[in-house]
């Protein structure tokens, strides 16, 4: 999904457009929900609440519209905190970067700190910096969106994992004039995944030293796991899938 310059005119910056049509809000919530399980629930709650609000053209006056906007932004802040999800925007023409409140909290910087692109990239692990930098350049030049999970160090020196997505904003001539997207702290999920991988590795090491056959198979008979002893006993080739040819 891409935004045009005309769709963004005269709006105060936020990661999500204020008083947008319901279909636009719904697409935004879908994008937010894709960032991980922790953000899906608050995003759904936010959509449910916003979907009950009247469209902007039905507001009786500007004061009512401003009050509704303040309520929606408050709800979005709550959803962002629950999902550890922040928004950001890059003005390609001016070289300016804007961060939401939650984005600054993820970076652990002051509430009024505004980085340039080089400073923003410096938070990423040195081995991941080229990956995200190249993705940003492709998005700026060709409008190619990106979705990455990368190692990250906050301003206070904490090592975390983040998921970052970005997409382009084009003017009416099709020129990329801005990027916007989201960043989410996914450290807890990554640590859980790494813990599972470590347990699986320890189990395999133990199983490979057992002096008897161990294996598991699915309902179709495809082998899902087998220990080293099974290959030694059957003479099967470990490089072949599902112990192919072991019967012979």
Q: Are 99 and 88 in contact (CB under 8 A)?
A: yes
Instruction: Please state the pTM of the whole predicted model.
Output: 0.57
Candidate from 20-29, 109-118, 121-130, 179-188 with smallest mean pLDDT: 20-29
Mean pLDDT of 153-160: 96
First to last CA, the chain: 55
- pLDDT for res 68: 56
Mean pLDDT of 128-135: 96
Structure tokens at 240: 């072949």
When comparing pLDDT for 140 and 214, which is higher? 140
Which residues in 175-210 are b (16+ Cβ under 10 Å) and which e? Answer: ebbbbbbbbbbbbebbeeeeeeeeeeeeeeeebeee
What does the alpha-carbon distance between residue 29 and residue 27 come to, in Å, rounded to a whole number?
A: 5
DSSP 3-state of 89: strand
Mean pLDDT of 191-216: 81
Whether residue 75 is predicted with pLDDT greater than 60 in this model: the reply is no
């Amino acid at each position: 999904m891409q935004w045009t310059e005309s769709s963004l005119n005269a709006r105060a910056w936020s990661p999500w457009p204020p008083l947008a049509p319901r279909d636009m809000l719904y697409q935004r919530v879908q994008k937010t929900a894709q960032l991980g399980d922790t953000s899906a629930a608050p995003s759904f709650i936010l959509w449910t609440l916003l979907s009950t609000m009247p469209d902007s053209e039905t507001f009786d006056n500007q004061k009512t519209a401003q009050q509704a906007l303040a309520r929606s932004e408050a709800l979005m802040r709550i959803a962002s905190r629950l999902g550890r999800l922040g928004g950001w925007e890059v003005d390609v023409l001016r070289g300016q970067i804007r961060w939401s409140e939650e984005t600054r909290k993820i970076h652990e910087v002051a509430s009024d700190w505004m980085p340039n692109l080089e400073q923003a990239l410096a938070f990423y692990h040195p081995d991941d910096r080229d990956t995200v930098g190249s993705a940003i350049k492709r998005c700026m030049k060709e409008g190619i969106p990106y979705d990455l999970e990368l190692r990250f160090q906050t301003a206070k020196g904490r090592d975390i994992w983040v998921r970052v997505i970005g997409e382009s904003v084009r003017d009416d001539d099709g020129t990329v004039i801005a990027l916007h997207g989201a960043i989410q702290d996914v450290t807890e999920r990554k640590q859980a995944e790494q813990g599972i991988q470590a347990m699986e590795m320890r189990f395999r090491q133990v199983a490979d030293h057992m002096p008897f056959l161990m294996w598991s198979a699915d309902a179709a008979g495809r082998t899902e796991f087998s220990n080293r002893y099974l290959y030694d006993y059957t003479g099967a080739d470990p490089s072949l899938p599902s112990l192919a040819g072991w019967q012979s």
